[in-house]
Chains A and B, each alone.
Chain A
């Protein structure tokens, strides 16, 4: 087995109490009711404050409370923390914290020899073992011999320390995740205060819970210190970040903030029409909290009303946005087509999840690209923008708004479940330097009638952008009717004229194609300029591709990486870039949708690397594909 940089840890030295390591991948796993997401989140937050670079991967079931103790009910949170730049949550955990047998069973398969296992020994009773499908107890049957196993009676210690605080054992049991957090915090030398502060704030109105959680957390921490069980603790030093102010951000939060920023930049009041759906709902939640920004959020009766209301708001001169996931995009298709015809600014956010149908609601996939591209009847082109990291969702949202407003068009903004819930440190942008967005509302008639009267023609286009004027109601003289019926070029009156229809179809297409002139060329990471293989990606595969390319290069391969933010239209230079490389590899969490688009558009032999398991690529999987393309390990 090759030791790759992603999961390299140093030997566990016996005597030393603290050893420095460069990075570690920790995976917290437990029952859905065990609070593993919260535990992972807190570990991440204190690591971020400590100055580590990090990347997270929350991985949870669709059921809120799947049957407890079963494999189906296991919820996990993986985080990689490092003193250097990391781009993924890590291929393989170095440490697995398993709160019960099911959590162990569901995750032990991915561990490598020498990994550390911290288990809640109290949970390995016969009943729980049976529920997880264990015939014998893995803690004693030798099946974990390849790992360093720490058996810690987390439940009983937690109950013990909570006893004299007046917390009943049943209630104390719920705090065991804080014990685990305390223990892992000690193991990786995380500061205690941020977590205690957080517990105090979060549970301020529930003093007993506050007390139990704080005690459990401290007990976990002290257990590490005093229990002689562990040979050493580890220290992952702060990473070298460019100077600046940082915060930790998830994709959905960044996307919501990007929309608010775009509203400020354009001066357009933000209106969100949305229907709850995983994994997009948190954007609705976040925006609903921000009323002081003049954000109107409308929880509609369904996705069609979500987009319908956003179209109505856009007609009235607001920044209309609708957020959803795949099944919701299906429902919105007809209305997106209407917006194409109306030529009104609109942003449709698709936080992709596994499909078809309900599919894998909490898992990530990139299989809506062709739907975004073609999922409407008639010739109905829409620009597509895709975010590539959690923090990039901020920029991608602003870019989607910029295009929508400038070109008077619906824009599809693609994120996915992995970006939505994943978190990373984000260097805060200087908001004063963000480019303003000019709504350029129509203010006066733009045409003269045959009899010399000034009139307003709603479909008289800007010769350069081909965008039509945006004239929200309220201005005398600009009264006009729009609709889904075909319109006469210029005047916008209903027209069934055959030649006019073809002209309008071509004009709408040309308008969208023309956006290529207004977006940055795709950047290629190919330092030496001599790469034989280009890895072309889009969306959330970014981190895994970056890590894979780095490793392949470190082993002497000549590999380049380009990552598309604009998927429709493509950047103008893409064809020329593709032509520069002998081989093109396109990793995607679908059956090859981008590869199909670039093959059709540029006639290049772009090879698809597919993974549709609801989980992101591991860097090593892409690395192996690079090896295969370039003829074995360099």
Chain B
């Protein structure tokens, strides 16, 4: 790879010539803008950047980027990314996926990519609905959701994507939302820096099939009271006057309290680097849905060996011990005999 300085770019340099075809007003636009505006700041090269996706509205993302990219098949992007990232450590691999793509058909690939800690930045657009197929409920839709495929209400308990990722041994887990570009960019930057699989859940509004799903917590007026920012090393507090906070009860339960009632020192201090994911998990369960105070930010960021690097190490090790593979010797590695 070239060692010359990374050329300065602007947002325009990262946009492809393809017309963006999401519905007007779709939250996907602001996520695309956030990414395209962030990339010039990351000191990365277009030619070394790859966006991979599965299928869904969200998954159209790679077509709009001027990087290398692949729009693959439903749910499989993390598997494809695993092959690419382990063979090309020089590339920045981004995976763009939806709640259906990542948690329904592709759930298996997602959890395994996370536990293996393959270097990839996963942006999961959670609109709690199947957008592209026109509005069926998804694995993140709230219980009793009425959609075309559930006219009497859905029966299945939704996944909490952050809980799921933490349970899958993810080394980096964050949450953000499409109404706050700055926060998105901060999360994406952090995820991109992470050595391994980084999972970011983005609350995304599908204004056509599930409008205002997050309005109660991400609406401009609601935000300060309903979003609980997680800041590493800081007590967890929120509210317009930071009058609310989170404490941990002796039985381990987390609870939202008035700071005035408990005193600042009683508040839980966020530690994203905690080895034990238990607290991060408890934080992910603080709200039961996007209608209660909901944490956003980095839940967990720990160092673990990266899968591709470990694989490369094994290869280097084998070559050091046995020398670079010799085909002639390989064919003679069993018993041989000579005729004539």
Contacts and interface: CB of A to CB of B under 8 A. Distances in A.
Interface of A: 45, 48-49, 51, 194, 241-249, 257, 260-261, 264, 269, 271, 273, 290-296, 298, 300-302, 304-305, 308-318, 320, 334-335, 338, 342, 428-429, 431, 472-485, 493-494
Contacts of A318: 83, 87
A82 to B, nearest CB: 15
Q: Which 9 pairs of residues, A with B, have the shortest CB-CB distance?
A: A243-B340, A312-B83, A483-B71, A308-B79, A293-B325, A309-B83, A291-B318, A305-B79, A312-B84
B4 to A, nearest CB: 11
B337 A308 contact: no
B52 interface: yes
B73 A338 contact: yes
Contact of A313 (B18, B63, B72, B83): B83
Contacts of A484: 55, 71-73
Interface in B89-112: 90-91, 108-109, 112
A342 B70 CA distance: 9
Given A296-B311, A312-B81, A481-B71, A260 B340 contact: no
A517 B68 CA distance: 33
A482 B81 CA distance: 14
B316 to A, nearest CB: 9
Contacts of A473: 47-50, 68, 88, 91
A300 B79 contact: yes
Contacts of B63: 481, 483, 494
Interface stretch (B24-32, B243-251, B263-271, B327-335): B327-335
Contacts of A338: 72-73
Contact of B335 (A45, A316, A480, A482): A45
B76 A304 contact: yes
Contacts of B91: 316, 473-474
A335 B73 contact: yes
Interface in B296-340: 311, 314-315, 317-319, 321-325, 327-328, 330-332, 334-340
B46 interface: yes
B68 A480 contact: yes
A271 B308 CA distance: 12
Given A309-B83, A312-B84, A481-B63, A293 B69 contact: no
A431 B331 contact: yes
Interface in B52-68: 52, 55, 62-63, 65-68
B18 A493 contact: yes
Interface string B110-136: 001000000000000000000000000
A480 B51 CA distance: 10
Contact of B84 (A260, A302, A315): A315
A295 B86 CA distance: 12
Contact of A476 (B47, B86, B319, B328): B47
Nearest to A50: B337
A194 B69 CA distance: 56
A247 B334 contact: yes
Contact of B72 (A264, A480, A483): A483
B325 A260 contact: yes
A316 B87 contact: yes
29 contacts: A48-B337, A245-B336, A246-B339, A260-B327, A260-B330, A264-B327, A271-B87, A291-B319, A293-B330, A298-B311, A301-B79, A301-B108, A304-B79, A308-B109, A310-B83, A313-B87, A315-B50, A315-B70, A318-B87, A338-B73, A342-B70, A428-B331, A431-B327, A473-B50, A473-B68, A474-B47, A481-B70, A483-B69, A484-B72
B49 to A, nearest CB: 8
Contacts of A477: 47
B107 to A, nearest CB: 10
B45 interface: yes
B46 A292 contact: no
A241 B337 CA distance: 11
B80 interface: yes
A320 B83 CA distance: 9
A294 B315 CA distance: 6
A308 B20 CA distance: 27
A311 B73 CA distance: 11
A244 to B, nearest CB: 6
Nearest to B77: A308
A261 B48 contact: no
B84 A316 contact: yes
Nearest to B333: A247
A242 B338 CA distance: 10
A481 B65 CA distance: 8
Given A292-B318, A483-B71, A298 B66 contact: no
A429 B332 CA distance: 11
B34 to A, nearest CB: 20
B327 A312 contact: no
Contacts of A304: 76, 79, 109
A305 B338 contact: no
B16 interface: yes
A485 B46 contact: no
B324 to A, nearest CB: 6
Nearest to A484: B73
B8 interface: no
Nearest to A243: B340
A334 B73 contact: yes
B327 A49 contact: no
A313 B84 contact: yes
B109 A301 contact: yes
B86 A296 contact: yes
A20 B323 CA distance: 46
A294 B13 CA distance: 36
Nearest to B68: A473
Given A474-B91, A475-B47, A245 B338 contact: yes
Contacts of A45: 335
B204 interface: no
B1 interface: yes
Contacts of B16: 481
Nearest to B70: A482
Given A305-B82, A316-B83, 8 more contacts: A51-B337, A247-B336, A248-B334, A293-B330, A296-B315, A308-B80, A316-B87, A473-B50
B112 A305 contact: yes
A135 to B, nearest CB: 46
Considering residues B76, B80, B334, which has the most beta carbons from chain A within 10 angstroms of its beta carbon? B80
A309 B118 CA distance: 12
Nearest to A342: B70
B299 to A, nearest CB: 24
A290 B73 CA distance: 31
Given A244-B340, A312-B79, A481 B87 contact: no
B325 A296 contact: no
A428 B328 CA distance: 9
A241 B331 CA distance: 18
B47 to A, nearest CB: 4
Contacts of B46: 476, 479
A478 B70 contact: no
A48 B335 contact: yes
Contacts of A298: 82-83, 86, 311
Considering residues A241, A294, A316, A317, which has the most beta carbons from chain B within 10 angstroms of its beta carbon? A316
A244 B65 CA distance: 57
A245 B317 CA distance: 31
B164 to A, nearest CB: 15
A473 B92 CA distance: 10
A249 B336 CA distance: 10
A335 B68 contact: no
Contact of B338 (A244, A301, A312, A482): A244
A245 B80 contact: no
Nearest to A290: B325
A19 B332 CA distance: 34
B84 A479 contact: no
A473 B321 CA distance: 31
Given A49-B337, A244-B340, A296-B311, A474 B83 contact: no
B95 to A, nearest CB: 11
